[in-house]
Amino acid sequence: MSYQKPRILNDYRDLFWSLIPLVVIAVVFAGLASQCSFAANGPTPGQIPLFDVKAALTMDARSMPFPIRNPDLPAGWSSNSGSRESIGGTGGGPVSTVGYLTPQGTYLRFSQTNATEEALARFVLGYRYASGTERVGEQAWTVYAEQGSETVWIANLGLSRVLITGAGNHAAFTTLAQAVTAAQPLSR
């Protein structure tokens, strides 16, 4: 006959010893499923997705009702994403967006649209207000900067508006802004 303590006499040590086998089993299953690692160096960067920015923007140039630009960026910049969205309501329109990783490893997003600046700003920023301007070459950019939020630059290029946002520093914003304004619209 086996002896069992009355439940009233169980304490935290009993709980601890009964949980150890469960924790060991969970770690073994996580390791087998490759859901955890025990590397001493911490996380490692994953592979950057390949995105054909030229093909995507060429298709957008054929289907969007406004001029599309493909900026020529310096070595080290890599496109990694793209999307299409639509801004509804007054002043709205379609939006073409491409994401880039800078040589410093930060992400910047570049959007083009025929929506008004107000509609574009409201779509991306909600109800933040402009905090200043930047001049890059001959082009003026409206800056939306707020503590704790990503900075946004918006420029009016005539038949289209351009937005740059992301985690890049001022030099990265300036580099992308220069490349955007220097780029000629793609042929339809």
Q: Residue 176 and residue 73: Cα distance in Å, rounded?
A: 7
Q: What is the pLDDT of residue 182?
A: 95
**CATH (one of 3.30.1490, 3.40.1000, 3.30.950, 1.10.357) for 53-182:** 3.40.1000
Instruction: Return d(Cα 120, Cα 137) in angstroms, integer.
Output: 23
Taking the C-alpha atoms of residue 93 and residue 184, their distance in angstroms, rounded to an integer, is 21
| 148's tokens | 């704790």
For residue range 17-72, what is the model confidence (pLDDT) as tens digits?
Answer: 888 888 888 888 777 776 555 555 655 667 778 899 999 999 999 999 999 999 99
Tell me, what's the pLDDT at 12? 78
Q: What are 108's two structure tokens?
A: 């910047």
pLDDT tens across 87-120, in order? Answer: 999 999 999 999 999 999 899 999 999 999 999 9
| Residue 83 CB-half CA count within 13 A | 8
The dihedral region occupied by 46, where left means phi > 0, alpha psi between -120 and 50, and beta the remainder, is beta
Rounded Cα gap, residues 90 and 74, in angstroms: 37
- pTM (2 d.p.): 0.75
Residue 8 is classified by DSSP as: G
Q: What is the mean pLDDT of residues 1-28?
A: 79
Kind plus residue range of the DSSP H or E element containing 27: helix 12-32
Spell out where the chain has E strands. 78-87, 93-101, 107-113, 132-136, 139-144, 151-156, 161-166
Relative to beta strand 78-87, strand 93-101 is antiparallel
**Separation between Cα atoms, residue 163 and residue 142, nearest integer Å:** 9
- Coil, helix or strand for 171? helix
Pairing of strands 161-166, 107-113: antiparallel
- The model's pLDDT over 124-142, given as tens digits with 9 standing for 90+, comes to 988 888 999 999 999 999 9
